[in-house]
């Protein structure tokens, strides 16, 4: 009997904690939109954070995008050769990288590097009471720490995703050029031949949503970190895991919505 009551209490407490966390997250997100349109805008800090986000991820995104382009081309070529359709290879790579791989790879890399960094940074400021000190000194820490970082990820990650897509296409071109000695102009013309405005708009929309998700999750976990230095590591880890999980959910939803528009 006591074991049953204990299990019921643990389950009830777990559900309460979950829904309380969801409520706090919605409040946190709502506060962001409320604060984002109020003065002061801290444009210098937003630009600084954009620079930090871009610089922190640029090297890894360059390498990963380049390798993805080469590997995907190598793996796709044998299947197309079986049907005598190797001329479709640039179009296939263009569709795969611009519509899916470029935005998704960029988002996952930034979730790991940028999201964890934001969570750890704000978490350390929370547990060392630096955020409390900012509140005492009449500075709005939410405006300065949260809003600027979320805006930076929302702005910068679409740019990084576009860059990753072109680097991936360039890696694919190198592989195609080695095998078939084709020119870069003809490769890119073939790659973009089947890309529509809806495809580009969907990719940009996805990266904006991914950037906002990474920023809001990282700042939320860091801003509410507890338990001292242990909580800092926990906040950074949770920021990465939750951001990646939400990115995959958003990928499915946005692709489905885009497909609905495609049929109209």
Token pair of 252, please?
């499915």
pLDDT at 39 over 90: no
Q: What three-state secondary structure class fits 39?
A: coil
Q: What pLDDT digit, counting tens, does each position of 90-138 carry? A: 888 888 899 888 999 999 999 988 989 999 898 888 888 888 888 777 7
Contacts of 113 (CB under 8 A, 6+ apart): 56, 57, 60
Greater model confidence, 261 or 65:
65
Q: Kindly state the DSSP code that residue 264 receives in the 8-state scheme.
A: -
**Number of C-alpha atoms within 13 angstroms, CB side, residue 148?**
22
Q: What is the pTM assigned to this prediction?
A: 0.89
* Per-residue pLDDT reduced to its tens digit, 40-52: 888 899 999 999 8
- Say how far apart CA 173 and CA 167 lie, in whole Å: 10
pLDDT tens for each residue of 190-236: 888 888 888 889 999 999 999 999 999 999 998 888 877 788 888 88
d(CA 57, CA 61): 6
Cα–Cα separations (whole angstroms), residue 195 to 191, 200, 227: 8, 7, 50
């Amino acid at each position: 009997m006591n074991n049953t009551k204990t299990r019921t209490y643990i389950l009830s407490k777990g559900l309460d904690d979950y829904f309380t966390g969801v409520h706090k997250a919605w409040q946190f997100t709502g506060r962001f939109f409320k604060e984002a349109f109020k003065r002061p805008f801290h444009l210098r800090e937003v630009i600084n954070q954009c620079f930090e986000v871009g610089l922190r991820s640029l090297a890894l995104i360059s390498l990963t995008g380049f390798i993805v382009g080469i590997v995907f081309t190598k793996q796709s070529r044998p299947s197309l050769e079986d049907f005598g359709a190797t001329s479709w290879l640039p179009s296939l790579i263009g569709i795969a990288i611009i519509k899916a791989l470029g935005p998704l790879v960029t988002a996952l890399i930034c979730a790991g590097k940028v999201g964890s960094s934001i969570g750890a940074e704000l978490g350390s400021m929370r547990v060392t009471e630096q955020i409390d000190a900012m509140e005492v000194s009449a500075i709005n820490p939410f405006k300065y720490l949260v809003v600027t970082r979320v805006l930076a990820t929302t702005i910068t990650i679409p740019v990084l995703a576009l860059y990753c897509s072109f680097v991936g296409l360039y890696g694919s071109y190198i592989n195609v050029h080695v095998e078939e000695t084709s020119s870069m102009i003809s490769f890119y013309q073939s790659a973009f031949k089947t890309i529509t405005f809806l495809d580009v708009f969907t990719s940009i929309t996805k990266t904006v949503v991914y950037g906002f998700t990474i920023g809001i999750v990282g700042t939320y976990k860091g801003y509410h970190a507890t338990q001292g230095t242990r909580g800092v590591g926990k906040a950074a880890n949770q920021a990465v895991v939750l951001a990646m999980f939400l990115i995959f959910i958003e990928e499915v939803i946005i692709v489905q919505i885009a497909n609905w528009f495609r049929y109209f």
